[in-house]
A and B are shown apart, each in its own frame.
Chain A
């Protein structure tokens, strides 16, 4: 694994508090191009807060945000998006009764013609959306006019990821993309993450599932009560260590059984 010297996106000593609650304290984390950074931690550990800082939804109370090594305060979600930071939330935000092509280009429609005759270029929208969705390995979609409501959860995630990549995302942030999915669907999404990584994106992947994290992660950061409790790169820690850390440092021999059992089911 090649380690890029400068992260595409980095948080440095970032803190975030809501009134009296310290959701994040002195968190430092770097996202590198062509790598998957798994963000782990128990419920309420601060994972969502951290990625909301990364995507410009929350402004940090302390610390700095750097893009390609340059300090860049992310003043808004739109600002972060314009700098190539794409976030796919769990509900994905697709319009079920609208076609794949229209969803793909929603808000950024391709048009042709001028003035009152300016219209959506549906032909190109169909071709491009279909090509990109299918290049993510979603072979079941044959028709760009098919409604998104006909797609499965994993396929919708794939569509959202394909869209983010098409519109030039450098960093792809996924908040628990696999948590609501069955095993088969989750594997579709893991495949998308792999595609995104192979195309040089930096991916931030939040999950509670150790198997998913270990299957795909290049770097790992564990948050416990808003602090970075551990950070390592692939292969530096044993599976059991990882599971212990994910459970907040408790011994989890029985939990280990449960997790691996779950992954197999």
Chain B
């Protein structure tokens, strides 16, 4: 009771090498598996597809662009998953957002900043509605957002046909909006910049703010979080809105970069986003994961999808490859989480039964 423990702490920290090559802190972190996966697939395609040009600047820009777009959606979706909820409505939000921009600007002749705000509003509103329904009913968000994905897809398609007669509408961005949402430097889309900004903010929030602790607690033990006074409903609502906003931003960027809005584009993200999160070390049941991991998961996905193209094999193999990675990732995550729940310190003395989980 009298001596201060601080001195012990530091020695304990330093000695936590566990006799292995990698410090325990690192291999038990949620992103460790994701790092291995990302480096692994990159090396694989560098060897297999390098001679066909996978290592060229153009190919590199290709996978970086793909990664950035995916990460912009997967980061908020993954953080939401850490809080214990899913968002499958992101697919339709991408399409609805892009068609909102195109319809508003081209068909209705509204100013670009207004339609961009409206498009982001579609995402925020979808997130708000998802969050309110999940909070009020406590139904599984998997089902709630699957339903809203279909509802929004139908609305966007229907509205687009009513207003324009088609589901794809072209659009051109003028300055300064084209720099912000439609520009490209050395083959790299402006999406990369947005992705860096969103990634840094999300990392900051999750790792360093009270909100971050609340997110982990909400997903890790809802009852305990509530008893500790964590505003779990507000946490969920905020993250659903963030997830809608991320997808809407991708919709705006796609409209700008590809000069068209399409109500049905984006459905691929419905499952890509959670897959990326899981490859990135996010636990399916929530409570564990990191933004670094999610970004590494997106890199893995981006490298695989572009790398396969450069191998010259048909892209038919992509799904099989990703599916295999997903299984490996789930197994690895499980092992890492179990290892994290083993003694964290330098303990060697046998302990009386340690309960895992609660």
B295 within 8 A of A: no
The reply to whether A142 and B227 form a contact with Cβ atoms under 8 Å apart is: no
Contacts of B355 in A (CB 8 A): 152-153
A95 within 8 A of B: yes
Q: Fill in one digit per residue for B206-219: 1 if any A CB lies within 8 Å of its CB, else 0.
A: 00111011101100
Which chain A residue has the least Cβ–Cβ distance from B289?
A: A97
Q: How far is the CB of B16 from chain A (nearest CB, A)?
A: 7
Given A93-B221, A96-B341, A152-B355, also A131-B4 (CB < 8 A) = yes
Most chain B beta carbons < 10 A, residue from A96, A135, A184: A96
The segment from A21-29, A107-115, A236-244 that touches chain B is A107-115
CB < 8 Å neighbour of B353 from A102, A147, A182:
A182
Total chain A interface residues with beta-carbon distance under 8 A: 45
The reply to whether B224 and A93 form a contact with Cβ atoms under 8 Å apart is: yes
The reply to whether A96 and B345 form a contact with Cβ atoms under 8 Å apart is: no
Q: Fill in one digit per residue for B17-36: 1 if any A CB lies within 8 Å of its CB, else 0.
A: 00000000100000000000
Q: How far is the CB of A252 from chain B (nearest CB, A)?
A: 30
Q: Fill in one digit per residue for B227-264: 1 if any A CB lies within 8 Å of its CB, else 0.
A: 11110000000000000000000000000000000000
A100-B344 Cα distance, complex, nearest whole Å: 11
Q: Fill in one digit per residue for A53-86: 1 if any B CB lies within 8 Å of its CB, else 0.
A: 0000000000000000000000000100000000
A127-B9 Cα distance, complex, nearest whole Å: 9
Contacts of A208 in B (CB 8 A): none
The reply to whether A144 and B358 form a contact with Cβ atoms under 8 Å apart is: no
Contacts of B349 in A (CB 8 A): 140
Q: Fill in one digit per residue for A142-154: 1 if any B CB lies within 8 Å of its CB, else 0.
A: 1111110111110
The reply to whether A150 and B343 form a contact with Cβ atoms under 8 Å apart is: yes
Contacts of B228 in A (CB 8 A): 93, 106-108
B346 within 8 A of A: yes
Which chain B residue has the least Cβ–Cβ distance from A125?
A: B213
The reply to whether A147 and B352 form a contact with Cβ atoms under 8 Å apart is: no
Total chain B interface residues with beta-carbon distance under 8 A: 49
Which chain B residue has the least Cβ–Cβ distance from A143?
A: B345
The reply to whether A142 and B12 form a contact with Cβ atoms under 8 Å apart is: yes
B139 within 8 A of A: no
CB < 8 Å neighbour of A119 from B1, B209, B214, B351:
B209
Given A142-B12, A152-B353, also A98-B213 (CB < 8 A) = yes
- Residues 145 to 171 of chain A near chain B (Cβ within 8 Å): 145-147, 149-153
Contacts of B210 in A (CB 8 A): 109, 111, 118, 120
The reply to whether B358 and A91 form a contact with Cβ atoms under 8 Å apart is: yes
CB < 8 Å neighbour of A106 from B13, B225, B341, B356:
B225
B187 within 8 A of A: no
Contacts of A92 in B (CB 8 A): 224
B176 within 8 A of A: no
The reply to whether B345 and A140 form a contact with Cβ atoms under 8 Å apart is: yes
- Residues 235 to 262 of chain A near chain B (Cβ within 8 Å): none
A149-B347 Cα distance, complex, nearest whole Å: 15
A88-B69 Cα distance, complex, nearest whole Å: 46
Q: How far is the CB of B3 from chain A (nearest CB, A)?
A: 9
The reply to whether B220 and A96 form a contact with Cβ atoms under 8 Å apart is: yes
A208-B358 Cα distance, complex, nearest whole Å: 22
The reply to whether A142 and B8 form a contact with Cβ atoms under 8 Å apart is: yes
Contacts of A91 in B (CB 8 A): 223-224, 358
A50 within 8 A of B: no
A6 within 8 A of B: no
Contacts of B213 in A (CB 8 A): 98, 102, 105-106, 109, 120
A141 within 8 A of B: yes
A193 within 8 A of B: no
Contacts of A89 in B (CB 8 A): 227
Contacts of B353 in A (CB 8 A): 152, 182
The reply to whether A106 and B217 form a contact with Cβ atoms under 8 Å apart is: yes
Q: How far is the CB of B35 from chain A (nearest CB, A)?
A: 19
- Residues 209 to 225 of chain A near chain B (Cβ within 8 Å): none
A130 within 8 A of B: yes
- Residues 119 to 135 of chain A near chain B (Cβ within 8 Å): 119-120, 122, 126-127, 130-131, 134-135
> 21 interchain pairs (CB within 8 A)?
A93-B224, A94-B358, A95-B220, A97-B288, A98-B217, A102-B216, A106-B228, A107-B230, A120-B212, A130-B6, A137-B1, A140-B351, A141-B345, A142-B5, A143-B345, A144-B9, A149-B356, A149-B357, A151-B354, A152-B354, A184-B352
B residues with a Cβ closer than 8 A to A are 1, 4-6, 8-9, 12-13, 16, 25, 204, 208-210, 212-214, 216-217, 220-221, 223-225, 227-230, 283, 287-288, 337, 340-347, 349, 351-358
Q: A96-B221, A130-B5 are in contact. List 5 more A-B contacts (CB 8 A).
A: A97-B337, A98-B287, A102-B216, A106-B214, A152-B351
